[in-house]
Amino acid sequence: MSSPYTHAQIVEILQAPQAEWLKQKAEQACIREKGKGIFLRGIIEFSSYCTCNCLYCGLRCANRQAGRYRLQPQDILQQALAIAATGIGTVVLQSGEDPDYPAEDIAHLVQAIKDRADIAVVLSLGEREPWEYALWRSAGADRYLIRHETADADLFAQLHPGKSLQQRLDAQRVLKSLGSELGTGFIVGLPGQTAATLAADVLLVREMGADMCGIGPFVPQAQTPLAGLPAGNIELTLRLIALLRLTCPNINLPATTALATLEPEHGQKLALQAGANVIMPNFTPEEAGGQYAIYDHKFAVDLELAIETASQAGRYILWDGALKND
Ligand code: SF4
């Protein structure tokens, strides 16, 4: 089935003076397709080491001022079980591209979580070798998040030294071929990005058949080459969430932390009212969490706030996780 919106129509919507109708239509579509429940994904940022040098990210390897830490598997397990005990149904284990965290250790960790909790495990560890994806999948990992960041191949190459969009899309294809659910995403407000680029992002997400897509505004980080640039536009981000909901009705769309960072009072609520259906409260241990500074002033979305945000948007939380009985 073809997309309900052509590339030209998406560009027109993104450039229109207002588009309240779009967000309302997307919220209705979300409730019709996914119900009123909001999924929670508890996130643990377990390593801030990264071998990449993405121009927008505070964890880039060239940033000598970044705080670096690496949590031990037993500490991650304990935190994942704490997430399951709250009733949250998904844990997301996220890190920079950290090849010094052995793939085997990750696999054992995934297996230990699945043995002890009824909870989906999502990995978000960047580009790794196909055998590593396969190992983690066979250990029980349910999904993998790896954002394509921008559908513009030239812009992608400029922002990610030594990497290519094609390489990223190939990684996504490998993950899908392993039967893994695939999460992608892109940044709104990158230098040189146009409405045409963003329309291509929407259509690319549809084409790849992603199960999830995180859309966040660009947030500058002081120790990166993009430090002086303005942040991404919130209204544009909300329109893109709405367009994704209408273009891929079944997809899961998080109300991203980047939106909460730029608009702490209402950012995530507005996203839920534009078609989002996921919130990702952060469960990184406090002593480490402040150092996972991919951008500045990253907002701390905790469980209490996630519940409150859902309620403010007229929605409720779906509790679908649990510890297993011994
Ligand atoms: S965006 Fe991800 S891969 Fe790039 S530098 Fe930051 S943590 Fe590393």
Instruction: Give the H or E element holding residue 22.
Output: helix 20-34
- The residue whose CA is least distant from atom 7 of ligand 1 is 96
Is it the case that residue 205 has pLDDT exceeding 70?
A: yes
The pLDDT-based confidence of 204 (bands split at 50, 70, 90) is: very high
Q: Which of 43, 52, 164, 226 to mutate to test the pocket of ligand 1 (most atoms within 8 A of CB)?
A: 52
Instruction: Give which of 63, 72, 120 is closest to 95, Cα–Cα.
Output: 72
* Å from CA of 168 to ligand 1 middle: 13
Report the pLDDT value the prediction gives residue 104, as an integer from 0 to 100.
98
Q: Which domains does the chain have, with CATH numbers?
A: 7-321 (3.20.20.70)
Q: Which residues contact ligand 1 via a Cβ below 6 A?
A: 50, 52, 54, 57, 59-60, 96-97, 126, 294
Cα separation, 305 vs 224, whole angstroms: 30
Average pLDDT, rounded, for the chain? 96
Window from 25-39, 113-127, 190-204, 294-308 with minimum mean pLDDT: 294-308
- The residue whose CA is least distant from atom 2 of ligand 1 is 96
Report the pLDDT value the prediction gives residue 291, as an integer from 0 to 100.
79
Report the pLDDT value the prediction gives residue 3, as an integer from 0 to 100.
79
CA atoms within 13 A on the CB side of 190: 28
Note the pLDDT tens digit of each residue in 206-220: 999 999 999 999 999
Is it the case that residue 81 has pLDDT exceeding 80?
A: yes
Output 18 or 325, whichever has higher pLDDT: 18
Concatenating the DSSP letter of every residue in 24-84 gives HHHHHHHHHHH-SEEEEEEEEEEE---S---TT-TT-TT-TTS---B--HHHHHHHHHHHH
Q: Which atom of ligand 1 is nearest to the CA of 96?
A: 7
Average pLDDT over residues 60-73: 95
Cα separation, 183 vs 146, whole angstroms: 6
Q: What is the pTM of this model?
A: 0.96
Note the pLDDT tens digit of each residue in 257-306: 999 999 998 999 999 999 999 999 999 998 776 778 888 888 889 999 99
Q: Is the dihedral of CA 82, 87, 89, 90 positive or negative?
A: negative
Report helix, strand and coil shares of the chain as percent, to nearest 5: 40, 15, 40
Average pLDDT over residues 27-50: 97
